[in-house]
Structures are given as C-alpha cells and as structure tokens.
C-alpha cells in the first residue's frame, strides 16, 4: 500500500513538473509559426524548423525537419522537443496524431483568417509560457487591424476592383476566405475573385480583360516574378491596371498569417497610395 | 524453270549452327513440304529464304539474281512469307487485311481472293473474331492479292482441325496450280506430306532427305528423324 | 464508313466553331465590340489554335503508337516523353526565365521531350532494329526514372516556382499565345506528313515485322521514321500545353470503332477527332465554372474514361 502511494506521488510530481515547466525545446512546423515564436521572444527555445522557414534570418540556422506536408517524424523526435507547434493550414493532421502517439506534446494554430490571428497568438503564448508577450503582440495587431478597418472604409467612395495574382501562368488568384481577401477588405479594395468557390481558384483571362481590374497585385513568392508574369501582363495590356501602371509586386509577408502580416498590409497600402510603406522592400 | 534457289547456305544464331550447308531448288508451280521435328530449323530456313535472316555464307537466288539485290518492293512481287502466328493485336477488318496485299503487289482482286478463300461474307468482320482456320485463310487471301510467285508458309496447318487443314491445302492447290506459283510449306503432320510434290526433311539444320513423299517417307526415316517407330502410324503404308 | 468519316469531321469542325462563341462570356464574332474582339483574338483564338495542335498531335500519335508497339493500350505518354519534358520544364522554371525569355518553358520542355525520345529509341535499338517491346519497356522505365527525379527535386527544393510545375504538368492552355503557334504548326504538320506517307508501312508493321517484310517494307526503316514523327508530335504537344491525358489513348479507339483500323484513314481522322476533343475540353474548362477555369486534362478524362469503359464492354472494339 505504501509502495502504491509512493508511486502515485511520484507520477503526480512528474505530471506537475511537466505542466509547470515552460517548454524548452520547441519545433515549429510552419513559417508563420516560426515568425510568431521569434516575435514572442522564444527564438532561443526553437529547436527545429521546416525547410520553408526563412524569417527571421537566424531561423535559417536552426535544424531542419523537412517540409510542411511531409516533415520527417524521425528528425522531429531526434530533436527531443517538449512541444511541437503546427497549423491546420499547412500541416496534415496525421503528423500531429503520430507525434502525440509518440508522447510529444503538440499545439495547433487554428487561425486561418486575419481576425483569428490575435487569438491564435494568445493561445500559442499560453502553450509555450509566453503569455505576456503574446498578449502584447496580439493587442498591438488587433489595434492596427481595427485602425485599418476604420480608415479603409473612408478611403474611396467606390472600392477599386483589384486582382491579387498568386501565380501568373496558369493564372491563379486569391479568392474569398483568404488573408489577402481580408487585407483587401481592410484597404477598401474589392476583390475581383470574391465570388470564387475556392480559396485559390484558377481564373479566366477573358474575365480579367472584360472586367478590367483597376489594381493588380502580383505575389513575389519566387525568384523571378517579373519574368514569369511578363506574358500575363502582355495579354492584359488593355486592362486599366496595366494601362495606368497600377501593377504592383508584393513580398510574401501578406501570404503569411504571422506577425508581419500587418507590415504586408502596410506595404500594399503604400504601393496603392504612393506613400512609402514602413517595411517596404 | 527455277523459282527459288537456296545455294549452300549456312546460318547460326550464335549458339551452334542452325542451318548447315543447305541447298534446295524449287521449280515454278512446285509444292514442297519442309518437314522435321521441332527445332529442326524449318522456320529459320523459311526466314532465310525470304530474306528476313541473312545467311552467313551461301546465297538465296530468285530467277538467278541474289535476293539481297532486290529492293523490298520488288521482292514483294516475287516472294511472300506467312509467319506461323502473325500479330493480330490491332483489330483490322478482313477486307483491310486483304487490301494490304495491294501495297506492293498485283495479284488477284481483293474481292476475288476473298471469294476464293471463302471469306466473302466475313469481309467486314474483325480478324480477331475469326476462328483459327478463317484467320489463316484471311492471310492466304492477302498473299493471293499480293500475288508473288513464291509462297513461303510456316506451319499454316498447325492448330487447325483436320477439316480446315484439308480445306486450306485444297484452296492453295486449287488456286496455285496453273499459275506457276511455287510453295514451300513447313509442316509437321506426316499425313499431310502426301499432298505435296516433294518433301524435304531436315533435322538439326541439315537436309536428311529430298524427294517424292512416298519415296522419302520411310520407316527408317521416321525412326531416324522423328525418333518414333512407324508402327505408330497404322494407316500409312510405308516402305521399310 | 464514308458517312462516319464525314460525321466525325463535322463534329470536330462544329465544336471548333462553337468554341469561338463560348467562354467566360458569350461573344458573337460577327458582332463584337472592341473589347470582345480583343478577348477573341488574344485569348480565345490562340487557345483554340493550340488546342487543335495538341489534340491532333495526340490523336495521331496514339493511333501510330498503338500500331507501332502492337499494343492497343499504348498512348503517346507511354514512351516517357512527357516525363522528360516535365523534368526539363521544371529545370527551366527553376533557372527562371532569364536566358530564353518567355520561351524558356516550351523550349526546355521540347528539349527534354526530344532527348527522352532519343534515349528511349537508343534503349529500344538492338542489332539495327527498333524492337517494340524494348521501346515500350524502355519508355516506361525512363518515364518512371524521370518522374522520380522530378519528384525528388520537388521534395528537396523549397523553390516556390518549381512546386508550380505540377500545375503545368496537368496541362494548361489558358496562357496559349500566338507566338508558339506557327512553330508548333510546322512541327505538327511535319509529323503528320511523315506519318501519312508511311501509313501503309504502319499497317504492315501492326502485323509483325516478318509480315511487314513480306509485304515489301523494311521494318526497321518504317519503325524508325514513324517513331521519329511520333516523338516530334508528342514533344511539340507537351511543350505547347503540358500533359493533356487520355486523348492519345481514347481517340484512336473511338475512331477505329467508327472507321476501321486502316492507318491511312485512322491516323488523319484521329488527328481531326483529337483536335475536336481537346478544343471541346478547353471550351468546357473555361465555361462550366466561369470565371473559374478547370484544366482541360481533367475534362478529357471525365468525358473520356466513361466512354472508354463503355467501348470496352462492346465486344468487337478491342477484338477481345
């Protein structure tokens, strides 16, 4: 009997320790998560990142665990993490299941939209014992987003028709239910593809020519965005945005649901208003 | 008159000689059976005779001229060959198949050849749907349209019912006689050999006998070449 | 049979004509304003032209290859040509468009396709002859190898552009441009002319090399010429618009069902019907969910697969 009590006490103390101690070795399975972790001051605690985690620059020095869809479970386990942070957006569920089965604690960032991000950050803060930093960051972002919400509505009487090009050939654009759509809403722009049935639809060139967007953004997600989009812009030479030279290349900050997304929105705003954005390239 | 002459030809696939010092002349209008056990070299001989294989020494001559000196188109007017199992993966219609004889030939009209082969009402069937005997007759009809003067046929009677075997032989004899066409046909049914003018017996690439069937096919030859006692053929009256 | 030839040709022609009118929005070419004319000439017509080129190459190539390899299941992509094209095109995407401009991808794809055809031809070559079974196996092997290398590169690389290669592999006609049409037309026409000139040889080869020899052909010469023309047409079609599945397999069977197996009729009509199918698939792709687009390869498969299965149930089509 005494022995059983002893064991119970021992197990309880273990659990208590695990609950109390902040995770010291964190693996991030998505670039936006990595950015959030660094922004919360947990950069030193990050033990591993994906091949796609390129920001902040020091994240590139961390151990790599592979891609987002196919991270190496072995590589993750060998880093002996006490917490793996993943996303519903980029990581398959079974990766989380497998890690849990191996006794590794996971936290999932469920935010998919701009408005959901601050709460997502707060939850990550709780999970990695950085609640104070998380609250500060989340509040700051909420405030900035709210400010846009008020400004954006007043900027123009009629919202300008805008096309956000994710990939130029074949033409793939940002549809509804995306952070980009959210950003356009904040900036008082009308997403031309807002009626699409999917988030990132292949889009008809005929429709672009006929509806003639006033502004075109092109994501600079790859090495030679200008080169790849040249044939597209040649085809669209009669469209208002091209005629009026309102085609803008934007960095991938706006594509990542992380702390820099506000800078991304600022960058887009700076491009369309002609003002220099704070974080512009 | 000489149709085709195989003049002391030798050939090997690389592992021992398949054909050794083989000579045979077929006259126009002659019907020759090429007999021998499996792997005796019958198919190899036919392929050499029509130029698919090239002899390592010796020559095949058509009307006194070396076979290799003919362009493929010219050759097709003089000599044609029917493999034992032609490919029929593509579902040609019988008429489409028979028309191919026209490409480089000029024998019978396709219609006439189909009638001769008894396939007129099957002209628009797919060759893949035909029975074995019908399929053989379809290919023979194609050869008739091509109209060469020498037919080399590799075991056309194999896997056919007795009835179809006899029909095919009758068809060939009926059409060919009087047209000065020579036929060399690989054969393994001894019973059928008696329909031919001459029989040429081969074993291990060597000619063992050549002559009229009733003279060549003897008990001794059957024992020697086919390694069977002739008593197994009670119906045949053979010389000892 | 003559009636069937006419019907197939008329269907293809009317589909092509209809494709002029239909799209994200209806356009009457006879009464078009300047905007509609712009859409018609710079978007719709080049798409139709490229569809015709791709469809006719694939239809004809499929008909030729099925006879050449004596295999009713052969299609133009079985020789690994599309895998080679995809591998090289992805290299082009990775290097960026710096050195060849907007022609980088089609040029790299063409180079990859031609190189693959040469490698497969080399593997299928023995004792001065191209052997059908060797060609088929070499094509499958080389195709698997190149696809694996492509997947490996895509797994290892974080290059954003490269991951988009996949979109290209599944066929894209939306960016079709007049600039590639003249070259493409010359190459496809060359392939078709060689093929038609050797149609009798193709018929003979379908019965086996020995039979072809007997019918007065040189099997190795005929097969070399036909293989070259098929490679040329397939390489051109892949470079023009990626991989549009099912056309090369399906069309020859449909056409064979309608007009028989004689290559002199089968090959040109497969070209016509193939063009009709791809034009139709592209028309549906830009219309059914407009302004969203559906890749034509998906549509050809959705139309094609059930029809193919239906044909399979009809005894006399495949001869089994």
Contacting residues of C for B91, CB less than 8 Å apart: 72, 256, 261, 316-319
| pLDDT score recorded for residue A278 | 44
- The arithmetic mean of pLDDT across residues C178-198, rounded, is 93
Q: Is C62 inside any structural domain?
A: yes
Interface test with C, best of A205, A208, A211, A226 (most C CBs within 10 A): A205
- The arithmetic mean of pLDDT across residues B6-18, rounded, is 84
CB within 8 Å of chain B, chain C residues 175-214: 200, 203-204, 206-211, 213-214
B199 vs C154, residue with greater confidence: B199
Nearest chain B Cα distance for residue C257, angstroms: 10
Contact B189, B165 (CB under 8 A): yes
**Apex A247 CA angle, A246 and A252, nearest 5:** 130
Q: Where are the beta strands (DSSP E) in C38-191?
A: 125-126, 129-130
| pLDDT score recorded for residue A279 | 39
pLDDT digit string (tens) for B220-237? 888 888 888 766 666 666
| pLDDT score recorded for residue B114 | 92
In this predicted structure, the answer to whether residue A28 has a pLDDT above a threshold of 80 is yes
List the beta bridge partners of residue A202.
A172
Full DSSP string of B160-201:
--HHHHHHHHHHHHHHHTTTT-EEEEEE--HHHHTTSSEEEE
User: In whole angstroms, what separates CA B155 from the centre of its chain?
Assistant: 7
| pLDDT score recorded for residue A191 | 94
Compute the half-sphere exposure of residue A91: CA atoms within 13 Å on the CB side of its CA: 34
| B229 vs A3: CA distance, rounded Å | 95
User: In whole angstroms, what separates CA A50 from the centre of its chain?
Assistant: 14
Q: Is C181 inside any structural domain?
A: yes
List the beta bridge partners of residue A48.
A27, A63
Contacting residues of A for C290, CB less than 8 Å apart: 204, 206-207
Contact A131, A198 (CB under 8 A): no
Residue of A nearest to C282 (CA): A204
Residue count (chain A): 281
Contact partners for chain B, using 3 or more CB pairs closer than 8 A, are C
Picking from C23, C167, C294, the nearest residue to A206 by CB comes out as C23
- B86 Ramachandran zone, left/alpha/beta (phi>0; psi -120 to 50): beta
Contacting residues of A for C172, CB less than 8 Å apart: 169-170
Choose the weakest-confidence range: A44-48, B162-166, C56-60: B162-166
pLDDT digit string (tens) for C195-230? 999 999 999 999 999 999 999 999 989 988 998 999
C174 vs C268, residue with greater confidence: C268
The Cβ of residue C127 has, within 10 Å, a number of other Cβ atoms equal to: 6
Three-state SS at B152: strand
In this predicted structure, the answer to whether residue A2 has a pLDDT above a threshold of 60 is no
Confidence band (pLDDT; 50, 70, 90) for A154? low
- The arithmetic mean of pLDDT across residues B163-176, rounded, is 82
| A98 vs A83: CA distance, rounded Å | 14
**R_g over Cα of chain C:** 19
| C316 vs C72: CA distance, rounded Å | 13
As a whole-number percent, the residues of chain C with pLDDT over 90 amount to 35
Q: Is C299 inside any structural domain?
A: yes
Report CA torsion sign: C289, C292, C298, C299.
positive
Q: Which two tokens stand for residue C175?
A: 């960016």
| C58 vs C310: CA distance, rounded Å | 21
| pLDDT score recorded for residue B118 | 87
Confidence band (pLDDT; 50, 70, 90) for A78? very high
Q: Which two tokens stand for residue B205?
A: 């690439």
User: For residue C112, which of C135, C145, C136 has the smallest C-alpha distance?
Assistant: C145
Confidence band (pLDDT; 50, 70, 90) for B35? very high
Confidence band (pLDDT; 50, 70, 90) for C98? low
The highest-confidence range among A237-241, A276-280, C301-305, by mean pLDDT, is: A237-241
- The arithmetic mean of pLDDT across residues A231-258, rounded, is 90
CATH number at residue C213: 1.10.3470.10
Q: Is C35 on the interface with A (CB under 8 A)?
A: yes
pLDDT digit string (tens) for C20-67? 888 888 888 777 788 888 888 888 999 999 999 999 999 999 999 999
Backbone angles phi, psi at A219, to 5 degrees: -70, 135
- The arithmetic mean of pLDDT across residues A202-209, rounded, is 91
Cβ–Cβ below 8 Å for C262 and B92: yes
- The arithmetic mean of pLDDT across residues A56-65, rounded, is 92
In this predicted structure, the answer to whether residue C189 has a pLDDT above a threshold of 90 is yes
Contact partners for chain C, using 3 or more CB pairs closer than 8 A, are A, B
Contact B204, B41 (CB under 8 A): yes
Which residues have a Cβ under 8 Å from the Cβ of A271 and sit 6 or more positions away?
Answer: A217, A248, A250, A277, A280
| A72 vs A79: CA distance, rounded Å | 11
Contact B129, B161 (CB under 8 A): no
Alpha helix positions (H), chain B: 42-50, 72-78, 94-99, 110-116, 132-146, 162-176, 190-193, 213-216, 219-221
Compute the half-sphere exposure of residue C271: CA atoms within 13 Å on the CB side of its CA: 22
| A137 vs A40: CA distance, rounded Å | 8
| pLDDT score recorded for residue C169 | 67
A72 vs C99, residue with greater confidence: A72
Q: Which two tokens stand for residue C147?
A: 């696809």
| C309 vs C320: CA distance, rounded Å | 14
Confidence band (pLDDT; 50, 70, 90) for A277? very low
| C49 vs C47: CA distance, rounded Å | 5
| A83 vs A125: CA distance, rounded Å | 12
Q: Is C99 on the interface with A (CB under 8 A)?
A: no
Residue with tokens 């590794």: A104
In this predicted structure, the answer to whether residue C315 has a pLDDT above a threshold of 60 is no
User: For residue A160, which of A246, A258, A218 has the smallest C-alpha distance?
Assistant: A246
Confidence band (pLDDT; 50, 70, 90) for A214? very high
Contacting residues of C for B86, CB less than 8 Å apart: 207-208, 210-211
Task: Look at chain C and report how many structural domains it folds into.
Answer: 1
Q: Is C318 inside any structural domain?
A: no
- The arithmetic mean of pLDDT across residues B84-110, rounded, is 89
| A111 vs B25: CA distance, rounded Å | 91
Residue C29 burial (C-beta neighbours within 10 Å; 0-12, 13-18, 19+) = middle
| B181 vs B144: CA distance, rounded Å | 10
Cis check: omega of the bond before A170, within 30 degrees of 0: yes
Choose the weakest-confidence range: A23-37, A242-256, C64-78, C121-135: C121-135
| pLDDT score recorded for residue A50 | 92
Nearest chain B Cα distance for residue C84, angstroms: 28
| pLDDT score recorded for residue B18 | 84
- The arithmetic mean of pLDDT across residues B197-218, rounded, is 90
A50 vs C108, residue with greater confidence: A50
- The arithmetic mean of pLDDT across residues C290-313, rounded, is 82
Picking from B73, B88, B100, the nearest residue to C203 by CB comes out as B100
Q: How far is CA C21 from CA C25, C46, C53, C55, in A?
A: 8, 14, 20, 20
Residue with tokens 């500060």: A136
Backbone angles phi, psi at B19, to 5 degrees: -135, 130
Inter-chain CB pairs, B–C, below 8 Å? 98
As a whole-number percent, the residues of chain B with pLDDT over 70 amount to 94
Contacting residues of C for A235, CB less than 8 Å apart: 42-43, 175, 177
Cβ–Cβ below 8 Å for C206 and B96: no
Q: Is C125 inside any structural domain?
A: yes
C52 vs B18, residue with greater confidence: C52
List the beta bridge partners of residue A271.
none
Q: Is C130 inside any structural domain?
A: yes
The Cβ of residue C100 has, within 10 Å, a number of other Cβ atoms equal to: 14
User: For residue A71, which of A31, A43, A37, A42 has the smallest C-alpha distance?
Assistant: A31
Choose the weakest-confidence range: B188-192, C253-257, C312-316: C312-316
Contacting residues of C for B89, CB less than 8 Å apart: 70-72, 206, 319
Q: Is C30 inside any structural domain?
A: no
A275 vs A183, residue with greater confidence: A183
Residues B60/B62/B66/B67 CA torsion (nearest 10 deg): -70
Q: Is C291 inside any structural domain?
A: yes
Residue C99 burial (C-beta neighbours within 10 Å; 0-12, 13-18, 19+) = exposed
Contacting residues of B for C218, CB less than 8 Å apart: 72
Nearest chain C Cα distance for residue B75, angstroms: 6
Residue B16 burial (C-beta neighbours within 10 Å; 0-12, 13-18, 19+) = exposed
Three-state SS at A172: strand
As a whole-number percent, the residues of chain C with pLDDT over 70 amount to 89
Choose the weakest-confidence range: A10-14, A21-25, B53-57: A10-14
Interface test with B, best of C73, C216, C225, C256 (most B CBs within 10 A): C216
Contacting residues of C for A194, CB less than 8 Å apart: none
In this predicted structure, the answer to whether residue B3 has a pLDDT above a threshold of 90 is no
Residue ranges making up the domain that contains C93 = 2-9+46-313
């Amino acid at each position: 009997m005494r022995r059983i009590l002893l064991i119970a006490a021992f197990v309880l103390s273990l659990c208590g320790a695990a609950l109390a101690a902040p995770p010291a070795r964190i693996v991030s399975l998505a670039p936006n998560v990595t950015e959030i972790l660094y922004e919360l001051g947990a950069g030193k605690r990050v033990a591993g990142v994906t091949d796609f985690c390129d920001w902040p620059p020091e994240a590139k020095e961390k151990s790599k665990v592979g891609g987002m869809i196919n991270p190496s479970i072995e590589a993750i386990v060998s880093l002996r993490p006490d917490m793996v942070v993943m996303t519903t957006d980029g990581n398959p569920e079974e990766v989380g299941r497998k890690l849990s089965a191996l006794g590794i604690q996971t936290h999932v960032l469920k935010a998919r939209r701009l408005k959901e991000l601050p709460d997502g950050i707060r939850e990550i803060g709780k999970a990695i014992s950085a609640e104070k930093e998380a609250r500060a960051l989340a509040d700051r972002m909420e405030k900035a987003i709210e400010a846009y919400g008020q400004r954006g509505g007043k900027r123009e009487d009629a919202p300008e028709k805008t096309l956000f090009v994710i990939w130029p050939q074949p033409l793939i654009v940002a549809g509804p239910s995306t952070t980009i759509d959210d950003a356009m809403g904040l900036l008082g722009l009308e997403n031309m593809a807002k009626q699409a049935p999917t988030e990132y639809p292949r889009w008809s060139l005929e429709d672009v020519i006929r509806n003639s967007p006033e502004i075109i953004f092109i994501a600079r997600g790859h090495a030679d965005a200008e080169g790849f989009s040249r044939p597209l812009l040649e085809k669209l030479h009669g469209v208002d945005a091209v005629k009026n030279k309102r085609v803008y290349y934007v960095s991938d900050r706006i594509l990542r649901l992380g702390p820099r997304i506000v800078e991304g929105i600022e960058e887009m705003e700076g491009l369309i208003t002609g003002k220099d954005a704070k974080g512009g390239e | 008159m000489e149709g085709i002459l195989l003049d002391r030809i030798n050939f090997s696939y690389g592992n021992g000689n398949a054909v050794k010092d083989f000579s045979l002349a077929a006259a126009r209008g002659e019907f020759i059976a090429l007999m021998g056990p499996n792997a005796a070299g019958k198919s190899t001989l036919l392929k050499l005779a029509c130029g698919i294989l090239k002899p390592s020494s010796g020559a095949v001559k058509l009307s006194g001229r070396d076979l290799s000196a003919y362009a493929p188109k010219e050759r097709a007017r003089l000599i044609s060959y029917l493999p034992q199992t032609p490919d029929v993966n593509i579902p040609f219609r019988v008429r489409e198949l028979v028309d191919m004889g026209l490409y480089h030939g000029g024998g019978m009209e396709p219609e006439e050849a189909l009638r001769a082969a008894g396939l007129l009402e099957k002209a628009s069937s797919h060759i893949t749907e035909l029975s074995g005997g019908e399929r053989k007759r379809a290919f023979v009809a194609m050869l008739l349209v091509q109209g060469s003067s020498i037919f080399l046929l590799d075991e056309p009677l194999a896997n056919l019912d007795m009835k179809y075997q006899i029909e095919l032989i009758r068809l060939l004899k009926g059409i060919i006689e009087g047209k000065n066409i020579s036929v060399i046909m690989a054969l393994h049914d001894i019973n059928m050999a008696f329909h031919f003018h001459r029989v040429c017996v081969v074993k291990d690439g060597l000619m063992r006998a050549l002559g009229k069937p009733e003279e060549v096919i003897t008990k001794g030859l059957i024992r020697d070449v086919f390694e069977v006692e002739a008593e197994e053929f009670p119906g045949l009256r053979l010389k000892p | 049979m003559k009636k069937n030839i006419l019907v197939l040709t008329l269907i293809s022609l009317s589909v092509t004509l209809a494709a002029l009118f239909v799209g994200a929005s209806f356009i009457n070419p006879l009464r078009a304003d300047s905007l509609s004319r712009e859409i018609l000439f710079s978007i719709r017509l080049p798409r139709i032209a490229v569809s015709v080129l791709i469809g006719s190459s694939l239809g004809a190539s499929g008909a030729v290859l099925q006879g050449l390899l004596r295999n009713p299941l052969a299609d133009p992509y079985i020789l690994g040509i599309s895998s080679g094209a995809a591998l090289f095109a992805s290299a082009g995407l990775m290097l960026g468009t710096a050195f060849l401009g907007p022609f980088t991808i089609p040029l790299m794809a063409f180079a990859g396709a031609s190189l693959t055809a040469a490698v497969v031809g080399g593997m299928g070559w023995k004792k001065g002859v191209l052997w059908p079974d060797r060609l088929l196996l070499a094509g499958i092997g080389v195709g698997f190898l190149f696809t694996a290398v492509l997947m490996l590169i895509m797994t290892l690389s974080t290059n954003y552009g490269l991951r988009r290669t996949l979109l290209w592999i599944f066929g894209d006609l939306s960016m079709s441009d007049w600039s590639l049409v003249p070259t493409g037309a010359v190459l496809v026409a060359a392939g078709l002319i060689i093929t038609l000139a050797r149609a009798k040889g193709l018929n003979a080869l379908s019965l086996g090399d020995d039979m072809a020899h007997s019918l007065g052909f040189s099997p190795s010469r005929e097969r070399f010429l036909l293989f070259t023309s098929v490679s040329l047409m397939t390489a051109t079609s892949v470079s023009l618009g990626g991989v549009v599945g099912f056309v090369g397999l399906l069309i020859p069977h449909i056409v064979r069902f309608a007009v028989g197996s004689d290559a002199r009729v089968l090959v040109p009509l497969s070209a016509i019907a193939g063009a009709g199918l791809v034009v139709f698939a592209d028309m549906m792709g830009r219309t059914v969910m407009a302004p969203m687009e559906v890749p034509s390869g998906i549509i050809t498969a959705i139309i094609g697969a059930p029809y193919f299965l239906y044909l399979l149930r009809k005894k006399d089509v495949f001869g089994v």
